[in-house]
Amino acid sequence: MPHVAVVIPVRDRARMVRDAIASVLAQSYRGYELVVVDDGSTDGSAAAAEAALAGAPVPAMVLRQPARGVAAARNAGVATTASPWIAFLDSDDLWLPRKLERQMAWLEARPAYRIAQTEERWMEDGRQRNPRAWHRKEERLFRRSLARCLVSPSAVVVARALYVEMGGFDEAFALCEDYELWLRVTLREAVGLVPERLVVKRGGHAGQLSRSTWGLDRFRIAALATLLLAAPLDAADRDAALTTLQAKCAILANGAVRRGRHDEAERYRALAAATAQVAGAPLTGASAAGATRPHGAAAVGSAYGLAAPLV
């Protein structure tokens, strides 16, 4: 049986997904299976992926689904596999040939770790770009991850057991679904680091989700509110998360006021106030009967009676 399930989600990146698949098939490590999940593409990405997988030396398939978002695509890909480890590769990124070999050797030598990532090389418009100081990776990442995502899906290998415990990606998130999941993971797990640049991140193209959608902090705020209302945080972690949420809410509220969108500004102010009031508090009513707090943005908002959906 393969040891690693590799999942590539794609929507409308026919040319780039061929390159991504080629970088996986060029791996020196062969103990993997590969699933490409086409998320409602209209540009022939699924057919391009099938052609790229023809004659693959490992178990490989293309899974087609209606457009449901990258979180659902990754979850669907994982669900079709059974390998004990899971690796993701975004369709606009690439792996260097020894990526899985080096990462799996690192994990096998350190059985206490259930997740590890590698360093990356960043390319934008064909030119190398150096990461900023705040992108520095380390093993204990929770508090530094509150401001921005510091775990890259394309650089991660995660134990299936941990992925299942976490419930996978929250499909309510159209963007920042990785930020949301890694917050939950880093709250309780050390993220191992293979100190080699084994992933090439390709940015600057027209199909880059983080560039094509405004206001990523809308989704980060939802992730922070979900975490504060549902996760068992100690006082220091709760204060750090709440401070970050309040700062992000204030920025978006001020921006909404400048655009004359006063109802939107009030929504962010109210969300910050409501989260501060109930963060860490016990649930009441029907929700209190459960053994665990609710999982996911939709369930959390409902359990705490927030006036508006978190996402």
Helices (H) and strands (E) in the chain, counts: 12, 9
Residue 277 lies in a domain: yes
Domain span at 282: 216-303
Q: Are 155 and 116 in contact (CB under 8 A)?
A: no
DSSP state of 17: H
Statement to judge: residues 37 and 182 lie in one domain: yes
Statement to judge: residues 254 and 208 lie in one domain: no
Q: How far is CA 73 from CA 43, 56, 141, 185, in A?
A: 17, 21, 26, 20
Tokens read off for 106: 């690192």
Statement to judge: residues 201 and 247 lie in one domain: no
Residue 130 lies in a domain: yes
Domain boundary among 212, 238, 266: 212
Pairing of strands 85-88, 60-65: unpaired
Tokens read off for 149: 């995502």
Pairing of strands 60-65, 115-124: unpaired
Query: Please, what is the angle between helix 177-186 and helix 70-79, to 10°?
Result: 60
User: Which of these, 74, 64, 72, 19, lies nearest to 42 by C-alpha position?
Assistant: 64
Pairing of strands 127-129, 115-124: antiparallel
Q: What does the H/E/C string look like for 75-102?
A: HHHHHCCCCCEEEECCCCEEECCCHHHH
Pairing of strands 115-124, 156-159: antiparallel
Statement to judge: residues 221 and 208 lie in one domain: no
Statement to judge: residues 66 and 202 lie in one domain: yes
Our CA angle for 160, 280, 285, nearest 5°, is 95
Statement to judge: residues 198 and 239 lie in one domain: no
Statement to judge: residues 254 and 207 lie in one domain: no
Residue 310 lies in a domain: no
Into how many domains does the chain fold?
Answer: 2
pLDDT value of residue 205:
52
pLDDT value of residue 271:
85
Residue 311 lies in a domain: no
Statement to judge: residues 184 and 280 lie in one domain: no
In this structure, what CATH number is given to the domain that contains residue 189?
3.90.550.10
Q: Which residues contact 254 (CB under 8 A, 6 or more apart)?
A: 265
pLDDT value of residue 283:
42
pLDDT value of residue 310:
53
Statement to judge: residues 59 and 174 lie in one domain: yes
Alpha carbons 125 and 226: distance in angstroms, whole number = 35
Residue 308 lies in a domain: no
Q: For every one of its 311 residues, what pLDDT tens digit does the chain have, with 9 covering 90 and above?
A: 789 999 999 999 999 999 999 999 999 999 999 999 999 999 999 999 999 999 999 999 999 999 999 999 999 999 999 999 999 999 999 999 999 999 999 999 999 999 999 999 988 877 777 766 667 888 999 999 999 899 999 999 999 999 999 999 999 999 999 999 999 999 999 999 999 999 999 875 555 555 545 578 999 999 999 898 887 889 999 999 999 999 999 999 999 999 999 998 998 888 888 887 776 554 443 333 333 444 555 555 554 444 444 55
User: Which of these, 101, 104, 100, 105, lies nearest to 89 by C-alpha position?
Assistant: 100
Tokens read off for 48: 């391009």
Domain boundary among 191, 212, 233: 212
Statement to judge: residues 13 and 126 lie in one domain: yes
Question: For the chain, what is the largest distance between any 2 Cα atoms, rounded to a whole number of angstroms?
Answer: 58
User: Which of these, 249, 137, 230, lies nearest to 191 by C-alpha position?
Assistant: 137
Residue 309 lies in a domain: no
Statement to judge: residues 206 and 254 lie in one domain: no
Amino acid at 45: S
Q: What does the H/E/C string look like for 137-167?
A: CCCCCHHHHCCCCCCCHHHEEEEHHHHHHHC
Alpha carbons 14 and 149: distance in angstroms, whole number = 27
Domain boundary among 212, 246, 264: 212
Tokens read off for 157: 């290998």
Tokens read off for 197: 């640049």
Residue 74 lies in a domain: yes
Statement to judge: residues 230 and 184 lie in one domain: no
